[in-house]
Amino acid sequence: MKIGGYLCTGCGIGDRLDTKSLESVAVREGRIGFCKTHDFLCSQAGVDMIKADMALEGDDQVTKAVIMACSRRAKTESFNFGAVPVSRVNLREGVIWIRPEGSEHDETTQEMAADYIRMGCAEVKAMHQADASGEQSKNNHIMVVGGGITGMTAALEASKAGYYASIIEKSDRLGGVMGQLKQRQPEHSPFQNPQDTGVAALIAAVEADDKITVYLSSTIAKTAGAPGRFEVDIASTVGAGTHAEFGAIVQATGFTPYDANNLPEFSYGKSPNVVTQLELEALARAAGDGPIKRADGKVVENVVFVQCAGQRSTKEGHLSYCSGHCCATSIKQAMYFKDSNPDIETTVLFDDIRTPGAGGENFYRSAQDKFVTFRKGKVSTVDVKGNELQVNFKDLILDEDAHMGADLVVLATGMLPNSGTDIDTMKDKDASGEVKVSVESILNLNYRQGPDMPQLVNGFTDSHFICFPYETRRTGIYSAGPVRRPMDAAQAQTDAMGAVMKAIQAIENSAIGRAAHPRSGDLSFPSFRKEGCTQCKRCTVECPFGAIDEDAKGYPQYNEARCRRCGTCMGACPVQVISFKNYSIETVGAQLKAVDVPDEFQEKPRILVLACENDAYPALDMAAMKRNESSAFIRVIPVRCLGSTNTIWIKDALGSGYDGVVMMGCKKGADYQCHFVKGSEMAHVRMAKIGDTLSTMNLEADRVAVHEVAITDIDRAPKLLDEMVAVINRVGLSPFKF
């Protein structure tokens, strides 16, 4: 049982630092078993040397290791020793690459390296090997909620990958909105003509697949459990309910069309000849191969499409966002007319034509080629004049009021997601004492945090748009299709594939007790010291993922398969009883205490930097790669998420003589970038209260700074550290140096 230290002298570390002295720092001050130096530690020879030590028997066996070389983000494969806890000391990116050369800098640079080595040795002692919790279970069955094309595609993809799927469909048939369409926009080059929706083929494939079960006229009465072991009660409006178990869930509940009755200015409801896009599909289907007729039987000869009807508008009751598919849908529908008779006047009145996707532009060109007229204009009203309609609009190019007659007006209204209960507004209503749920719950989650997934802007299910698009804040539950964001059929099908892959990933990871992401492969999970817990419920409330319930006695109950290992609970705990095996109050606390704080006469401040390992730490690493210079007085400790930052660390640091603390997390708020959704935000909330602590210690408030740093802030991140150095220069060194 030994802690082995391995110091690399490659990449210039040996040239810039006094490695002999660092070795003795590691052994004497870090108090580890030994420290070996290698001039190329990540080479086969270097790694073999470490492995040989780990393979020894008895007291000589190395059971924990400190690698003193490059950033923990470099050479992760080489320095992965499986079951052996390893601490990485960042001498390359963290020290020599950010420090200028020259003898006048040698002393502070050497001190920096020595501190990081002390920190690494202290950390590894507090680390323990993480094991799975033992609560693992695996279930190869995926529940797909919604039987539209998104749901059916998801189920078929799951089946192709060898998993089972059950489709829960509320109505009595499969197909969803796409099933009501005549044709869809083209999916393949040359993207010129509308094509078959393919819904019939999808339904046939689903029905023929023996790995897929379909529950029609069914809803979900209750969902309990965690990834790998979801317990679901399925209610049926026609028969008896069922109880089933699933490994993961894909929610593909689609959208409801925006209610055109909110648009009386366009004479919707006043005239049967003003229809929505979906209503036009019904007319087109009724027409079959013949000409499209109005409700009164007249063959349509002059049709006007009104884009952005009640969308992209700030008016009360309108949708503020673009629904993404309507331009292409109107183009497609204009072609229904043009293809049947090129003499039919088809005019699209648009504000901006938006045709996303590979084929969108070609489809638009194809419509222009077919003489569909596009006029940039904003429609104000539609008047009913006997059997005719008059569309009044402002021509935005000619800058004049204009009007045109039409037999039929088609409104491009938007989409509203079927996301279920908005748990955030529920909370608000709770306070006033009345709970008014406008949308029925879809998943009926048996979670403390509410019956459905949290929603982001405009009611669409929450997801990390950039890094984990299908992920919701409920691990193992993935959303796909227009419930996630407005989209067209092709995107919804791509989405379905992505979401089902994530569902499979969740099933496989939960089976072995690993985090799915962002810390994929992490076996650690939070546990708490029961005798210290005050049952304050802060961890249950702050967990962004609803991973923590309360047991009958009010203690936190971890559902480790729902956990993403961010440590927000650990940061939240006021009595610091929550910890992970390899990441705890102690691992970070020991590191910051291991730093040698010089007395005030040496005039060398110490600044603690807690940097999010997802964005801020990589940004600092990349700044180092660019050789962006940084102060020698900073000591950086990476944290899983700024949300895992416990205020005790800040208090400890300031109490032990640090002059300043800089915290770097991801962007928070509605357009958050935090990989753990709320972690960064929670940290900001907690740190807003740190001012009280500072004032009781008689310290200046600006000694603690919290910043939002993106991975791209390569030049800004070091500047933020320089700013803190300037603050310390201004307010003076901390009075707490001993």
Partner 1 sequence: MTTAVNQAMVEKYKGNFLKEVTDNVEEGNWVKMCMQCGVCSGSCPLGPHWDHPPQELFMMIRANKREEVLSSTSMWMCTSCYNCVARCPRGLPITHIMHGLAHYGKRMGMKPKNQPTEKFGQMFWDNLIKKGRVNELKLGLGLYFKDGFAEGVKVSMGKQKLGLNMMKAKRMSPMEMLGGHGVKDLSGFHAMLKKAEELEAARVGANTDAK
The residue ranges that bind partner 1 (CB under 8 A) are 353, 364-365, 368-369, 371, 373-376, 395, 397-398, 402
Signed CA dihedral, 321, 325, 331, 337: sign only: negative
* Token reading at 477: 């539950």
Q: For residue 528, give the 3-state DSSP assignment.
A: strand
| Nearest of 639, 636, 633, 547 to residue 587 by alpha carbon | 639
What is the nearest approach in angstroms of partner 1 to the Cβ of residue 67?
53
- From the number of C-beta atoms within 10 Å of its C-beta (0-12, 13-18, 19+), residue 308 rates as buried
Shorter beta-carbon distance to partner 1: residue 404 or 697 = 404
Residue 471's identity, in one-letter code, is E
Shorter beta-carbon distance to partner 1: residue 222 or 376 = 376
What is the nearest approach in angstroms of partner 1 to the Cβ of residue 318?
24
Shorter beta-carbon distance to partner 1: residue 73 or 375 = 375
DSSP state of 318: S
Shorter beta-carbon distance to partner 1: residue 397 or 466 = 397
Return all residues near 229 (Cβ < 8 A) that are at least 6 apart. 137, 139, 245, 247, 510, 561
What is the nearest approach in angstroms of partner 1 to the Cβ of residue 340?
18
Q: For residue 417, give the 3-state DSSP assignment.
A: strand
Neighbours of 631 (CB within 10 A): 18
**CA distance linking residue 669 with residue 681, whole number of Å:** 7
What is the nearest approach in angstroms of partner 1 to the Cβ of residue 447?
48
Shorter beta-carbon distance to partner 1: residue 222 or 370 = 370
**CA distance linking residue 518 with residue 614, whole number of Å:** 9
Q: Strands, DSSP E only, in 79-153?
A: 86-90, 141-145
Distance of CA 667 to the CA centre of its chain: 12
* Token reading at 225: 């459990």
Shorter beta-carbon distance to partner 1: residue 268 or 364 = 364
What is the nearest approach in angstroms of partner 1 to the Cβ of residue 309?
20
Q: Strands, DSSP E only, in 386-443?
A: 388-395, 400-406, 408-411, 415-417
**CA distance linking residue 426 with residue 405, whole number of Å:** 47
What is the nearest approach in angstroms of partner 1 to the Cβ of residue 354?
12
Shorter beta-carbon distance to partner 1: residue 168 or 353 = 353
| Nearest of 55, 61, 108, 65 to residue 89 by alpha carbon | 65
DSSP state of 464: B
Phi and psi torsions of 40, nearest 5°: -160, 70
What is the nearest approach in angstroms of partner 1 to the Cβ of residue 345?
8
* Token reading at 195: 């094509």
What is the nearest approach in angstroms of partner 1 to the Cβ of residue 373?
5
In the beta sheet, which residues pair with residue 388?
385
What is the nearest approach in angstroms of partner 1 to the Cβ of residue 372?
9
Shorter beta-carbon distance to partner 1: residue 258 or 364 = 364
What is the nearest approach in angstroms of partner 1 to the Cβ of residue 388?
15
| Nearest of 405, 406, 404, 383 to residue 394 by alpha carbon | 404
Shorter beta-carbon distance to partner 1: residue 138 or 375 = 375
Shorter beta-carbon distance to partner 1: residue 168 or 306 = 306
Shorter beta-carbon distance to partner 1: residue 233 or 301 = 301
**CA distance linking residue 721 with residue 613, whole number of Å:** 17
What is the nearest approach in angstroms of partner 1 to the Cβ of residue 412?
18
142, 481 in Cβ contact below 8 A? no
Shorter beta-carbon distance to partner 1: residue 352 or 603 = 352
What is the secondary structure of 584-618 as a DSSP string?
-HHHHHHHHHHS----GGG----EEEEEETTTHHH
What is the nearest approach in angstroms of partner 1 to the Cβ of residue 326?
17
Task: Answer whether the bond into residue 518 is a cis peptide, omega within 30°.
Answer: yes
